[in-house]
Amino acid sequence: MSDPAVRHCCRQMTSRLEHVCALHPNPFDCPDQVVIYSPRFREYGLIIHDGGTGVISIRFCPWCGSTLPV
């Protein structure tokens, strides 16, 4: 789900994005999956767990505070 060629801002972000859940192949179904990275748009987002596929795009890393690429 994450592109190994992409370097994320910090280890927290990387490990959150690389989180793979055996129970939920779809990250939108997994309550432990809080962030998502879209390589197509080079965009980071917070997953809204309301049963849909809503994402709030974020401009700053919630863990280290880095400005994320847009």
Comparison of 30 and 55: residue with beta carbon closer to Zn ion = 30
Comparison of 13 and 47: residue with beta carbon closer to Zn ion = 13
Considering the rule CB under 5 A, would residue 68 count as an interface residue with Zn ion?
no
Assign 17 to helix, strand or coil: helix
Among 13, 17, 35, 36, binds Zn ion (CB under 5 A): 13
68 Cβ neighbours under 8 A, 6+ residues apart: 9, 44, 58, 59, 60, 61
Considering the rule CB under 5 A, would residue 46 count as an interface residue with Zn ion?
no
State how far the Cα of 63 lies from the Cα of 68, in Å rounded to an integer: 12
Report the nearest approach of Zn ion to the CB of residue 57 (Å).
15
Considering the rule CB under 5 A, would residue 34 count as an interface residue with Zn ion?
no
